[in-house]
Amino acid sequence: MGNEFVVPAIVAVTLVTVGIGFYGLRLARTTSDFLVASRAISPTWNAAAIGGEYLSAASFLGIAGLVLKYGVDVLWYPVGFAAGYLALLLFVAAPLRRSGAFTLPDFCELRLGSRRLRILATAFVIFIGWLYLVPQLQGAGLTLTTVTGSPYPLGALLVAGVVTANVALGGMRAITFVQAFQYWLKLTALAVPVIFLALQWQADGRPAVTPPDGPTFRAATTVVVEHRATLTLPDGDIREVRPGDELTFAAGDPVPAVSGAATDANDWLLPSTAGADDRGLFATYSLILATFLGTMGLPHVLVRFYTNPDGAAARRTTLVVLALVGLFYLLPTLYGVLGRIYTPQLLLSGQTDAVVVLLPGAALGDGLVGRLLAALVAAGAFAAFLSTSSGLLTSVAGVISTDVLGRGSVRGFRLATVIAGGVPAVLALHVSGLDVSQVVGLAFAVAASSFCPLLVLGIWWRGLTDVGATAGVVVGGGAAIGAVLVTVLGPPLSGWPATLIAQPAAWTVPLAFTVMVAVSMATRRRAPADIAATMLRLHTPEALRM
C-alpha cells in the first residue's frame, strides 16, 4: 500500500496486452488466420505461449496461499498441475492434433459423429470455462484490493471488463507472442523477488519456518478479519471473530491458531498420516487424480494444440511446456514457506491468497527495492489473470457463438464474448470466500470426470459408442458438477460427506470411465462404421501422410 510503482506496473501490463489485442484485430479473427500466424512459430515459442496461458491466478497466487495455510499436503497442486501435461503428452497430444479437432465438441463430432454429444460437450466446455474464470477474476479483485485498497468488486469487474472488451474487439488468439512474453514475465516476477527474499532471510539470521514455540509476529501488526473464524489464543482462550473485527498484535506476540488452517507446526510440516486421517489421504489421492487427468479436458488448453503443425510437433511442444511449467512451479512453494515467517497475519485475516503480492513488502520493507519488487510481482499477477482469462474467454465465446448462437459471425462472436464474460463476473462477486486454488481444483475435477475419459477412450478404444460416451459424461461429469454446486452453494458439511464432495475426483473419474465402457459395450452395434479410418488418421505418423 502506498507503493507508487504498483499501479503503473499493472497499467503497463494491461496496456501491452490490450494494445497487441487491438493490433491483432487487423491480423486475425478466423481459425485459419490463427493457424497461419502460428505455423511460423517455433515449438519453444509455442510452448512458452501455452505455458503463459496455462499459469493462472491459481498457479501464481493460489498455490503459495494454500502452502501458507495448509502446508505440505497441498504441494500436490503444483505437482498435479505439471503432471497434467504429462498425461496429456502420453495419451492425447499427438492423436488429438492429427484428428484435426479444434475444440472438444469438434472432437466429439469427428470421432463419434453425434450431434447430441456435441451439444453436451459444449455445455461442459462452458461450465468448466466459467468455473475456471471465476477464480481468475477473484484473484484480480483480491490483488487490486491488496495493492491499492480498492473494494473487491471493483477489481474483479474491472479485469472482467478489460478482458471481455479485449477479446470481443481483437481477440488474443493470434497473439502467441504476447502469451509467450507473459510466461517469461510471470517466471521473472516470481524468480527475481525470491532471490532477494532468500537473501533477506539469510540476513535476518535464517528464522525458523516452524519455530518450536509456534509462529510469532515479527513486527507490530493490525489485522482486519475478512472471514469468520475461530481463534485459539496461546493462553487457551477461544475467540470467535467476524469480518471487520480488528486485532492488534505487538512484535514478538505469538500467532493465534486459526480454525481451518494448519497452524500447528506438525500439521503443516508433515504429510497426513494413516489411521488418524484416512480422509486426508483420500483427499490427497482425489486431488492427484483430478489434476493429473483434468488438464487434458480444459477448454483453453486443447485449443492451443491446434497451433502445432503436426502430431510429432504437438508431442515435442508438450514436452517443452512440461519443462517450462515445472520450472515455474518450483517458485510458489517458496513464497508460501517464507510467508509463514513474514506474513502470518494473513492466516488470521483469511487472505492467504495475497501472500505472493504482500511478501516482498513485508520481508524487504518499504525501501526502493521492496517497492520495485512488489510492483513486479503485482505485474506478474496481472499477466496471469489477463492471459488465462483471455484464453478461457476466447474458448468459451467460441463454442457459444458456433454451437449455441448458430453460425459464427463476428457479431455473434462479440455477443458470445459478452455473455461468456458477464456470467463469471457476476459469479465472482459471490464466491470471494473460497480459495482460488480450490475452485480451480473443482474445475479440474469436472474436466477429469467428463472430457478425460471421452478423450482417452475415444483415442485408444475402438469400442466407444456415442451412447456410451454420452452416458459417461452425463453420469461422471454430472456427479462432479453436483459436487461443485454443493461445495459452492450448499450447506457446510463435515466428516466423510464433506471430503467426498470437496474432492470428488477419486470417485467421479472411475465412475465416468466405468459407465462409458459398460454402456459402450451394451450398445456395441452403434460403434461408428468408419472407426478404422479414424484410428488410421489419429495414429499414423506424419511420414506416411505426404
Question: Mask: binding to another protein, 306-345, rule CB under 8 A, as x and -?
Answer: ------x--xx-xx--xx--xx-xx--x------------
Tell me how far apart the alpha carbons of residues 153 and 425 are, in angstroms, rounded to a whole number: 9
Compare residues 218 and 315 and give the one whose CB is closer to another protein: 315
Distance of closest approach, residue 266 Cβ to another protein, in angstroms: 9
Compare residues 23 and 496 and give the one whose CB is closer to another protein: 496
Cell of 69: 495455510
Question: Mask: binding to another protein, 20-59, rule CB under 8 A, as x and -?
Answer: ----------------------------------------
Compare residues 29 and 315 and give the one whose CB is closer to another protein: 315
Position 274 contacts another protein (CB under 8 A):
yes
Cell of 252: 514478538
Compare residues 146 and 295 and give the one whose CB is closer to another protein: 295
Question: Mask: binding to another protein, 394-413, rule CB under 8 A, as x and -?
Answer: --------------------
Position 460 contacts another protein (CB under 8 A):
yes
533: left (phi over 0), alpha (psi -120 to 50) or beta: alpha
Query: Does an H or E element contain 89, and which?
Result: helix 76-91
Distance of closest approach, residue 46 Cβ to another protein, in angstroms: 15
Compare residues 395 and 437 and give the one whose CB is closer to another protein: 437
Cell of 257: 491458531
Instruction: Answer positive or negative: Cα dihedral of 78, 104, 86, 189.
Output: negative
Burial of 252 (0-12, 13-18, 19+ CB in 10 A): exposed
Distance of closest approach, residue 284 Cβ to another protein, in angstroms: 5
- Please give the full DSSP string across 501-512, using - where no structure is assigned: HHSTHHHHHHHH
CB atoms within 10 A of CB 433: 12
Distance of closest approach, residue 277 Cβ to another protein, in angstroms: 8
Cell of 468: 456410451
Compare residues 85 and 217 and give the one whose CB is closer to another protein: 85
Q: Which stretch binds another protein (CB under 8 A): 73-81, 162-170, 361-369, 477-485?
A: 73-81
Position 83 contacts another protein (CB under 8 A):
yes
Tell me how far apart the alpha carbons of residues 84 and 369 are, in angstroms, rounded to a whole number: 36
Compare residues 78 and 361 and give the one whose CB is closer to another protein: 78
Cell of 255: 500467532
Tell me how far apart the alpha carbons of residues 146 and 237 are, in angstroms, rounded to a whole number: 30
- Asked if 132 contacts 443 with a C-beta cutoff of 8 angstroms, the reply is yes
Q: Which stretch binds another protein (CB under 8 A): 33-41, 273-281, 480-488, 505-513?
A: 273-281
- Asked if 118 contacts 124 with a C-beta cutoff of 8 angstroms, the reply is no
Q: How far is CA 274 from CA 143, 268, 271, 280, in A?
A: 38, 16, 10, 9
Tell me how far apart the alpha carbons of residues 162 and 302 are, in angstroms, rounded to a whole number: 24
Among 49, 89, 185, 436, binds another protein (CB under 8 A): 89
DSSP letter at 256? P
Compare residues 61 and 374 and give the one whose CB is closer to another protein: 61
Tell me how far apart the alpha carbons of residues 34 and 511 are, in angstroms, rounded to a whole number: 37
Position 288 contacts another protein (CB under 8 A):
yes
Give per-residue burial for 55-75: e unless 16+ CB within 10 Å, then b: bbbbbbbbbbbbbbbbbebbb
Distance of closest approach, residue 316 Cβ to another protein, in angstroms: 6
Position 546 contacts another protein (CB under 8 A):
yes
Among 75, 172, 178, 515, binds another protein (CB under 8 A): 75
Tell me how far apart the alpha carbons of residues 48 and 43 are, in angstroms, rounded to a whole number: 8
Compare residues 312 and 404 and give the one whose CB is closer to another protein: 312
Radius of gyration of the chain measured on its C-alpha atoms: 23
Position 91 contacts another protein (CB under 8 A):
yes
Question: Mask: binding to another protein, 514-543, rule CB under 8 A, as x and -?
Answer: ------------------xx-xx--xxx-x
Compare residues 177 and 285 and give the one whose CB is closer to another protein: 285
# residues near another protein by CB under 8 A = 49
Q: Which stretch binds another protein (CB under 8 A): 81-89, 97-105, 124-132, 364-372?
A: 81-89
Give the list of residues 6+ apart from residue 295 with CB closer than 8 angstroms, or none: 81, 84, 85, 87, 88, 301, 444, 447
Position 195 contacts another protein (CB under 8 A):
no
Q: What residues pair up with 230 in beta bridges, in sequence order?
A: 240
Position 79 contacts another protein (CB under 8 A):
yes
Cell of 38: 502460428
Position 270 contacts another protein (CB under 8 A):
yes
Instruction: State the residues that interact with another protein by CB under 8 A.
Output: 72, 75-76, 78-79, 82-83, 85-87, 89-91, 94, 269-274, 277, 281, 284-285, 288, 312, 315-316, 318-319, 322-323, 326-327, 329-330, 333, 460, 532-533, 535-536, 539-541, 543-546
